[in-house]
Amino acid sequence: MLTLTLIAAFLNLVLLAAVFGVYFAYSNSVVPGLDKADPEKAVEAMRKMNVAIINPAFLTIFIGPLITSAATGFLLLGLDENTSAYLTLAAAVVYLVGSHVITGRINIPLNNALENSTSTDWRQRWADFSPRWRRWNAVRTVTSAVSLLLCGIGLYIWGN
């Protein structure tokens, strides 16, 4: 069980780091870059990115941390590593709420509204989308970082 726990824990760190990186990149380069572009081109580019991101690699790093955090937490409980387990399970909850709930309740509906709008007022379309999307993506970025930190601390405690 020790080997399985180690594999789950390190896979969990890698997946959380990857999803944090995606959110961070969108917050700090992709959307700010689109904000500087012509609004019609920004809308079209974001619409294409929203389609392109639905792929096996992204879905693995998006869904994977829920599974690996929970699995690692329960495996650590089985090893009587309660503090590490609770930190890892807390990371799963933070990630679930901060990433999946926000994505499903806010970012995806914003993406869908951008996709389905028939307005040709591109400036207004982008202005209705970008600030709110960026704000909530920043929350996803921070919560995925907190999840990563909680798991890292849990691993550190387990190792000492």
Task: For the chain, give the mean pLDDT.
Answer: 97
In this prediction, residue 111 carries a pLDDT of 97
Residue pair 10/68 in contact by the 8 Å Cβ criterion: no
> How confident is the model over 43-71, as a mean pLDDT?
97
Give alpha helix (H) positions in the chain: 2-25, 31-35, 39-52, 56-78, 82-95, 102, 108-116, 122-159
**pLDDT tens string 66-119:** 999 999 999 999 999 999 999 999 999 999 999 999 999 999 999 999 999 999
In this prediction, residue 135 carries a pLDDT of 97
pLDDT class for 63, splitting at 50, 70, 90?
Answer: very high
Token pair 């700090």 in the structure block, residue: 28
> How confident is the model over 30-55, as a mean pLDDT?
97
In this prediction, residue 128 carries a pLDDT of 95
